[in-house]
Amino acid sequence: MLEKLTQLVAKSILSNELKLQKKVGYRLVFKNLPDDWIDGYALVDMTLTWHSYGLPIKGLNYFTVGSLKNGLSSRFLTNDDLYQAWLGGYIFQSKKPLYWHSDDYLKLAEADQEGWLRHYGNTTPDMDFGNLTKIDDMVLSGKKAQLFEWVGITQSDVGNANHSLILKVMSDGMAYMMNTLTPGLKLKGKNFIPKTTQTTYQELAISGYMILVNINSRTKAVLYVCMVGDNKPDHAVMKQLITKHIQLMPV
């Protein structure tokens, strides 16, 4: 009964997210992802999360995580290379032209990460994503863009409060949306609920890349990829993921 209710709610939420996507006028598409990533994506309306973080914008988050190993995403497997890794991007709009400093774009990810950690039971999430360092100018899907790298700290979402009803409902809803957006995935909510471990919400070094895309004065896209430092992330691999496997397209 709960699962069916969750699916009905998720269906309604997804419908609203697709309407917002149409209003924004652009979407992100994941292409030919390597086998160690789930070959699909989740779609999340970030507007309320960003507003609560003091960012007066509306928009969406497109993301995926590590593929399943023994029924659990490798995002939650402490010894896996994709433990706590993210791949995705944001598309957002403001009512007025945006003139942000490059580091302001990191606030998008900080707000996102804080909300995610709270969903996973961390009541006092702590992170510092540092600063963006420009690497290069580039063109992404015909739009002028800039590639940046960054290094920071965060906390794991694997902790002692990972089995709440809220997390179960959220995970079931996320699985439903991903299956709907990419038919054939056959994901389940339990694929995104970590098993209990001795460590809980441990602090982690994290590093990654961002591509800032100037669609127009009010509409921006930010692509991101990050991996935790303890697993010695391959920066060449991360660069390829963010530059070759995500495309910006008009709706």
For the whole model, what pTM was predicted? 0.95
Read out DSSP for 72-96? EEGGG-TTSTTTT-EEEEEEEE-SS
Q: Is 193 helix (H, G, I), strand (E, B) or coil?
A: coil
Give exposure, 15-42, as e/b (b: 16+ Cβ within 10 Å). eebeebbeebebbbebeebeeebbebbb
Distance CA 28, CA 61 (A): 9
Q: Where residue 110 falls among pLDDT bands split at 50, 70, 90?
A: very high
Which one, of 108, 145, 151, lies nearest residue 132 by Cα? 151
Give the pLDDT score at 232. 64
Which one, of 206, 174, 202, lies nearest residue 190 by Cα? 174
pLDDT in tens, 13-65: 999 999 999 999 999 999 999 999 999 999 999 999 999 999 999 999 999 99
